[in-house]
Amino acid sequence: MKIRSLKLKEAHKSNNGVKSFCSIIWDLESQHLVTSSSSDSSISIHDVLLSSAPPKILRNHKDGVTALALSPNSTCLASGSIDHSVKLYKFPGGEFQTNITRFTLPIRSLCFNKSGSMLAAAGDDDGIKLINTVDDSIVRVLKGHKGPVTAIAFDPKSEYLASIDSNGSVIFWELSSGKSLHNLKGIAPASASDNSVLNVLSWSPDGDLLAAPGLKNDVVMYDRDTAEKLFTLKGEHVEPVCYLCWSPNGKYMATSGLDRQILIWDVDQRQDIERQKFDDKICCMAWKPNGNNLAVIDVMGKFGLWESPVPSSMKSPTDGAPSQKSKTNGLLLFDEDELEPSISGSLGDAREESLDNSEPVSRKRLHKRSKYDRMLDEDSDDELHWLRKAEPRRKVSHTHKESLDDVGEEIQSVMKPERTKMQECFQPGSTPVQAGKRRFLCYNMIGCITTMEHEGYSHIEVDFHDTGKGPRVPSRTDYFGFTMAALNENGSVFANLCKGDQNMSTLMYCPFNSWENNSEWSMRFESEEVKVVALGTGWVAAITSLNYLRIFTGGGLQKYILSIDGPVVTAAGLKDELAIVTHASHSLPTNDQMLEFEVFNISNKTQTLRGHLPLTPGSNLSWFGFSEEGQLSSYDSKGVLRVFSNEFGGKWLPLFSANKEKSDERYWAVGLDASKLFCVVCKSPDAFPLVSPKPILTILTLSFPLASSDLGADKLENEFILSNLHLSQTQKRIEEMSAVGKDTTLIDDEAFSMEMSLDRCILRLIAGCCNADKLVRATELVRLLSLEKSVKGAIKLVTGLKLPVLAERFNTILEERLLNETMEAMQCSNSTSNAILTNGVERHHGLTVSENEISEPAHILNPPKLLSPHFAKQDQAEAKKGGEKVQLKTTALEASLKVEANKVDHASIPFLKTSNNEVKANSSLVNCTNKTADNGIRKESANPFQSHRPTNPFAKTSNNQEKSSIFDSFKKANNGDTK
């Protein structure tokens, strides 16, 4: 390749030969070049047509100028300086207009968006300011870099902003939300030690590619949406690239390196086609908008024009270039023609002056378009929806108002507000694609699935946290390019997005343990894309782009296909339950997502839950799943963890908030149990962990976002609410297990332990209330105690604190409870006795009464015997093992039962048939006495042969729980008869 020489002339003097960062930019019509230097406080505007004429000098900064930017229509010039200020000027006149913003450290980069309505400014501060050029307001500050920001660039489609810092990290920002979408760390050379060259980046003119310097003296191209590394430009640079810029049509790129040479690249061919050597490093370049020229400036402040950098035998760098005429949305920032009324106003004082005589004809033709075309441009949709519109600075003429009315319908369609973005679907426990790095397809409490692309294929590994429990799964090569996965103890499921010429999506299930060697299976979907997958016990679920919920068996049988109500967001499975989250509607104008959830029981084919999924305002859902106990849980991007509870008709309870933790940390949720959140701690601004080094699980204690208590007992109050929640959940499980006839022995003991623990917490709160003189609150708390011993302990506590009035109230509460207990026992005893007496009277008259009819006279049968209750016999048999004392009590119990039964005169009617009512009454008596006997035996014997936990006299009365005081009622009844 032929090396040509190029002479440069001085634009800015260097201070004692010190190298500095210099800038150079073209205006829209290629009539002016603007230059600056970080060692010179002035800005030079060069007239290219009159090269011999001296440049126009702007001297408004107090220190070196480090950044320049021209609005797309070249009416406004912005400059940033080491003096921390950002200034605006009219262009090309150079009249100073305003200091639009200030920083606390030097400015390093400025950039206008495509419409000119937004100016981004960044530097050695830790934030990027987005400034509305209509009213000079700061719309948003983007924070995430850990070093000086050296370059920023709006993408041509006005959706993203890309930024790079001196550490070589690149961040993709979403403009509508201000969120960091992708953070590519250390992908470019570090430049912190030399301020004469800065890390840069640049969007292709079509906005599809982002170019940034690579670590191997090359240039790397990244995808605009996924930030994936697509390809590199590597040629004859022997040192890192320090500046790059695209040709107007995006076919070529110019790169300068620390090796003091410029290379011209054919991007499509990925080949360097031209080369130029210089005496010093070239720190900035700019392609001529309408010609085959490249303007350059070096670190000594010398600039020049490289004529025909692209060989004449090749396609011109301007052929097929996007239109350079800016769609300004009415923002001709400094009006130069008052004949065209401005709808949105300008930044500076609008002066009534005509265009310069040197303005080209093409600029004037802009004003000859129809009114309708002009209005379409003014309302172009490339302006961000969240920009505030400026009020008109001048009255719009009557004629212009009439023209607005004439095209009302058309303009309404153009001026419709842009909808806020709906959250995209995601797989719980997955991390985004990172170029050249392994990422998580799935990470949960069982294990993780990782993948990394290598030479066109992916390499997948499955690892379990507890290697002793999980099977050893060999790594595998992924030929399908799977992008999502789910994992449980039985197997793993994979799926990919549509790809290939046939536009097909693939679903694959891989069981870990199977009696068949070839147990894997796969499904393919034509013109239908799998969005989310989930696993349970014996089933696999896939939710697709057609809003289909497809459920397969573990063997691959297509069992159910359901239609869901909206686009899926995520899904999770546990045992028989599948939970999915869908969009209920479009997002609100405040960017709040409208989501709803559904829970299905796959084995029963039922929907068990459905409702709205709450999120913190302005947040997205970032994790969704089940706790270790099976509670449905969610975690949003603002760090709030919620768990679904059946209390209050089914509500989500906030059990954790990251706002109360360290502000510089983010928590990537993995799972939770009854009292702890398991997560990976990421240092801000990182929102997710890397595969290597292996993430360390951090355990955080669940805590309600309580208000600051006047007791100063936030931990105790949190423990009280959590204990109540866990006890309620356990009692619900007991009811469910009892309903299906399962043994509840273990869970009964667990619930009793919870009640004791809750009582201890309440007693500590009572002590705190007494010390803080909150006696009413203490009285409310004592009513919540479950055990009699706990109430007596509260009485003893307040007595020791010398609060006799409170002790008296506690005594009254205890007496009320004992009285209520006795009354309930008496009611049970009376209902049982009445049932026996009723049956005796019926038999005395020779009748058997049913619910709807009177039976015929009874047949002659053998004299009936009073059957011993089944549970009483069982208790008696077990009591023999427990000791003679228990046996005597059981015998006494049976004797008491016989006395009660013999109150009815059986001898006078010996051959009566036993009626249904008698059976019911006897059954009721048996149940009451059996439970009484059980309690009596429990008190006297230490043998654990009973299946029920100790009776809690102050717990809420349940249908399966009877009171021990029923024996006292029988004794009283017997004593009354004796008297």
**Where residue 678 sits, what CATH number does that domain have?**
2.130.10.120
Task: Domain count for the chain, please give it.
Answer: 3
**Residue whose C-alpha is closest to residue 955's, from 759, 768, 815:** 759
Does 691 lie in the same domain as 780?
no
Residues 194 and 278 in one domain: yes
Last residue of a domain, one of 701, 726, 745: 701
Whether 250 maps to a domain, the answer reads yes
Q: Are residues 721 and 685 in the same domain?
A: no
Percentage of the chain exceeding pLDDT 70: 73
Greatest alpha-carbon span in the chain: 139
Does 733 or 277 have the greater pLDDT score?
277
Report the pLDDT value the prediction gives residue 873, as an integer from 0 to 100. 37
Looking at the fold, whether 676 and 745 belong to one and the same domain comes out as: no
* Same domain (yes/no): 478, 518: yes
Whichever domain contains 237, its CATH number is 2.130.10.10
Task: Determine what percent of the chain is predicted with pLDDT higher than 90.
Answer: 50
Q: Rounded to whole angstroms, what are the CA distances from 198 to 70, 277, 417, 835?
A: 20, 20, 39, 95
Q: Rounded to the nearest 5°, which phi and psi values hold at 925?
A: -65, -40
The answer to whether residue 48 scores a pLDDT higher than 50 is: yes
- In DSSP terms, 45 is beta-bridged to 34, 56
- Residue 684 confidence (pLDDT) above 90: no
Reported as a pLDDT band with limits 50, 70 and 90, residue 419 is low
**Secondary structure of 283-331 as H, E, C letters:** EEEEECCCCCEEEEEECCCEEEEEECCCCCCCCCCCCCCCCCCCCCCCC
Judge whether 569 lies within some domain.
Answer: yes
The answer to whether residues 665 and 766 belong to one domain is: no
Q: Rounded to whole angstroms, how far apart are CA atoms 881 and 943?
A: 9
- Helix, strand, coil percentages (3-state) for the chain, rounded to 5, are 25, 30, 45
Residue 20: pLDDT band with limits 50, 70, 90: very high
Indicate if 605 and 544 belong to the same structural domain: yes
Within this chain, do residues 697 and 719 fall inside the same structural domain, yes or no? no
- Segment among 35-44, 199-208, 438-447, 726-735 with least mean pLDDT: 726-735
Residues 649 and 787 in one domain: no
Q: What is the mean pLDDT of residues 225-235?
A: 92
Which one of 785, 806, 822 terminates a domain?
A: 822
Say yes or no to pLDDT of 184 above 60.
Answer: yes
Compute the distance between CA of residue 852 and CA of residue 594 in angstroms, rounded to an integer. 56
- Please, which pLDDT band fits residue 59 given cuts at 50, 70 and 90? very high
Indicate if the pLDDT at residue 491 is higher than 80. Answer: yes
pLDDT of residue 205: 93
- Domain range for 295: 9-307
Q: Is residue 236 part of a domain?
A: yes
Asked if residue 278 has pLDDT above 70, the reply is: yes
As a whole number, the mean pLDDT across the chain is: 78
**Residue that is last in its domain, among 307, 340, 356:** 307
Judgement on whether residues 691 and 726 belong to the same structural domain of the protein: no
Given a cut of 60, whether residue 908 has pLDDT beyond it is: no
Q: Confidence class of residue 410 from pLDDT cuts 50, 70 and 90? A: very low
Q: How many whole angstroms separate alpha carbon 742 and alpha carbon 483?
A: 42
What confidence tier does 913 reach under pLDDT thresholds 50, 70, 90?
Answer: very low
- Enumerate the β-bridge partners of residue 477: 459
pLDDT at 758 over 80: yes
Does 108 fall in a domain? yes
- Which of 218-227, 498-507, 744-753 ranks highest by mean pLDDT? 218-227
pLDDT, average across residues 190-215: 89
Assess whether pLDDT exceeds 70 at residue 418: no
Among 12-21, 176-185, 525-534, 865-874, name the one with the lowest average pLDDT.
865-874
Residue 374 has pLDDT above 60, yes or no: no
At 822, list the tokens.
Answer: 């006795």
Question: 261 phi and psi, to 5 degrees?
Answer: -135, 155
Section 764-781 average pLDDT: 91
Q: Is 301 left (phi over 0), alpha (psi -120 to 50) or beta?
A: left
Q: Tell me, yes or no, whether 742 lies in a domain.
A: yes
β-pair type (293-298, 302-307): antiparallel
> Do residues 442 and 522 both lie within one domain?
yes
Residue 606 forms part of a structural domain: yes
* pLDDT tens figures, 601-635: 999 999 999 999 999 998 999 999 999 989 999 99
Per-residue model confidence (pLDDT) at position 568: 96
Sign of CA dihedral 276, 278, 283, 288: negative
Q: Residue 556: left (phi > 0), alpha (psi -120 to 50), or beta? A: left
pLDDT in tens, 391-400: 333 333 444 4
pTM of the shown model: 0.48
The verdict on residue 854 lying in a domain is no
Average pLDDT over residues 118-145: 91
Same domain, 746 and 684: no
pLDDT band at 895 (very low <50, low <70, confident <90, very high): very low
State whether the Cα torsion 78-83-85-87 is positive or negative.
Answer: negative
- Mean pLDDT score, 227-252: 93
| CA neighbor of 573 nearest in space, from 611, 538, 530, 523 | 538
Helix (H, G, I), strand (E, B) or coil at 262: strand
What is the pLDDT at residue 597? 96
Q: Is the pLDDT of residue 133 over 60?
A: yes
Residue 827 is assigned to a structural domain of this protein: no
